[in-house]
Amino acid sequence: IGKGLAVRWTAERLYERLDGFLVDAGGDCMCSGPGPDGDGWRVGVEDPRGGEGPLAVLELRDVACATSSIRLRRWKSGGREVHHLIDPRTGLPGGQGLLAVTVVAGDPAEAEVMSKTLFLSGRSGIGAAVRRQNVAALWVDVNGTTSESPSFAERVIWRAP
């Protein structure tokens, strides 16, 4: 949870000096204040399948956002495709059937931990986990299907067609 903590600690220092700011650490960010246009900060949710445009654009104010994805950190080992999101219960790559999970939460470290925890629940368990924990989340499965919780949908100002 290094990036989430780094964003939290940076934000704590900036709160003392600025009325608004955005701290981004490669997919983990903290959006504070009204943003440049006064309506909140605009944050694009990357498509884990690649491509030029985002899956969605969020409007965020005084919240954090984190994405856990296997788009960049995956490789082949022993003829099998593996990635960096390791399930501590098995010691193996987890999140079967998922490509990415994005979470919006009050704290950057919480958002990062939750995005990884939800990712590890896999395609078959993520919907129930999101509902049980009442998380603002968007997830993309290996078929390219995008799903989101109602509390996440409230923050979306644009979706890819």
Question: Tens digit of pLDDT for each residue in 30-63?
Answer: 999 999 999 999 999 999 999 889 999 999 999 9
Q: What percent of the chain has pLDDT over 90?
A: 78
Task: Tell me the average pLDDT across 23-28.
Answer: 92
The span from the CA of 7 to the CA of 108, in Å, is 6
What's the DSSP call for residue 88?
T
**Residue 95 vs residues 31, 98, 136, 140: alpha-carbon distances, Å:** 27, 6, 18, 11
* Tens-digit pLDDT profile for residues 126-148: 999 999 999 999 999 999 999 99
